[in-house]
A and B are shown apart, each in its own frame.
Chain A
Amino acid sequence: MNIGDRIVAWSKDEEIKKEGASGGLVTSLLTASLKGELADEVIALQKISEFEGVPIRTSNVDEVLKCSGSLHAAPINLTKFAVRFFEEHPDGALALPAKPCDARGIVEQAKRKKINLEKTYLIGLNCGGTMPPITTMEMLEKMYEINPDDVIEEEIEKGKLIFKTKNEKKAISIDELEEAGYGRRENCRYCETNIPVMTDVACGNWGAGKNETFVEIFTEKGIKLMNNAIELGLIETAPATEKGIKIREKTNSVMEKVAKKWHEKIFVPIEDRLERFHYYMDVMEDCIDCEACKYVCPVCACDESKCIDFYDPIDSYKISIYHLVRLLHLSDSCIGCGQCTDVCPAEIPLTILHRRIADRIQAKYNYVPGMDMKIPPSFEVE
């Protein structure tokens, strides 16, 4: 196996293969990394329902087995869980599945010495987007006329979102859902990173047959991950077909174009200076200073938060210094993961605000956060 190889693979265990999203490869790589002692612990998302997943950190193989399948309506980010692991085990090794936004958060934290990337096995998951759980349940009732509790399976096929219950199967095109205000989270619509090239291996169903995963190998660690699982007899592989490779490339470029369109649609510049001023002042007004947005942000890396250094909840300024410092601080590192908007109890569209600024700074310094370890954070001065 070599860097750059594109293969298909699946779990040899029938049960894992059946339970997995596309052949159970990721689950098998995770369990193999524990069994083969590549990693001390694994992070995975345990399914509570189709609309809820809880991240767990474990060294127990049975726990990992309970986490197979893709949860499209559990928009969690795993970065901070990886940071916690390295706080507790500075010399430990970790394996985890990572959507592009998980992986980009992890790379930014690694640059800030919070994660040891040499000892992190990143099993990349291609990602076309996640959906907000509550709105998705509402969508099921209104658009699908299905009781969310009855859903037993959810999948995405040919641009359609399909829900299955015991007795029926309904498909509606994602475009139609998004027109109606449902579908993917707003930030996922304009997220242009679908294949996580910053991971060790990228896994996905694009270009793969039924019950198999398409894998692209990016690093030596990726080769080690795969070989370890093969040696333990847990997975089987085959070369990817030319057709599969083409389908994957084509779908990826279509998705990128769609994302760019969404970006244009959402980020309409506010040309007038005064209008801009009032927009920011008004939109921040509802903040109740709960600091949840800071807590969840995968790229926040201060030990003692700079954003609260200059700020006091009793300040009566026109706009909170907490937010201004955050806008500045995250302007180089914001990856647009949407976590801040998701958690805000005051429903402030934080991700848009952060991205409006980050787009400017990241273009100015030609810095795309989370893509590789080569470029230091742009805030840094040699």
Chain B
Amino acid sequence: MEEEWTPKITLFCCNWCSYAGSDDAGVGRKQQPPSTRTIRVMCSGRTDPGFVLTALMEGSDAVLFTGCHIGDCHYISGNYKAKKRFEMLKEILDEIGLEDERLQLQWISASEGSEFAEYIRKVTEEIKAIGPSPLRQEWMK
């Protein structure tokens, strides 16, 4: 029997909120598929578009920007910067023919473990539905 394909999703988490949120999901033993590869950054404002593009080129089927809710960023405006970059990247990825689902943004607080797990389940299903990224090379596992 052929094994079911699990997408590879690169998840950028900010140290103060969404990383703590993902930790909360783990501590609370919330079920989530093994689809994410988490990269912790100090603030969502550190998520350089170059990181996102590299993740996509290296075979990620989707990339997620996550961070503190607007107004809660520990460095005041980091998440506004992340939001702007996300919006601009989105236009470009759409223009070069990537599906909408492959780049997403979600604010997650430190206490939102269940929301976090729920979100990862949802994204994984969405990516499963659209299949592997066209940017993925044949030799990428």
Listed in ascending order, the chain A residues whose CB lies under 8 Å from chain B are: 273-280, 306, 309-310, 315-319, 321, 324-325, 327-328, 331-332, 356-357, 360-361, 364, 379, 381-382
Contact = CB atoms under 8 A, between A and B. Distances in A.
Contacts, number: 74
A175 to B, nearest CB: 31
A318 B57 contact: yes
Contacts of A280: 95-97
Given A317-B57, A317-B135, A324-B53, A277 B98 contact: yes
Q: Interface SS of chain A: helix, strand, loop or mixed?
A: helix
A325 B95 contact: no
A327 B84 contact: no
Contacts of A316: 137
Contact of A331 (B50, B91, B96): B91
Interface residues of B, number: 24
Contact of B84 (A317, A325, A356, A379): A379
A332 B87 CA distance: 12
Contact of B77 (A309, A357, A381): A381
A293 B81 CA distance: 27
Given A309-B50, A319-B57, A357-B92, 13 more contacts: A276-B95, A277-B98, A278-B97, A280-B96, A317-B135, A318-B135, A319-B135, A321-B53, A324-B96, A331-B88, A361-B88, A361-B91, A364-B87
Nearest to A320: B57
* Residue of B48, B57, B80 with most partner-chain A CB within 10 A: B57
B96 A276 contact: yes
B50 A310 contact: yes
A278 B98 CA distance: 11
A315 B137 CA distance: 12
Contacts of B54: 310, 321
A382 B77 CA distance: 8
A76 to B, nearest CB: 29
Given A315-B57, A317-B57, A325 B50 contact: yes
A356 B77 CA distance: 30
A279 to B, nearest CB: 8
A358 to B, nearest CB: 10
Contacts of B80: 381-382
B81 to A, nearest CB: 5
Contacts of B89: 328
Nearest to B93: A324
B91 A364 contact: yes
B135 A327 contact: no
A273 B77 CA distance: 34
Contacts of A379: 84, 88
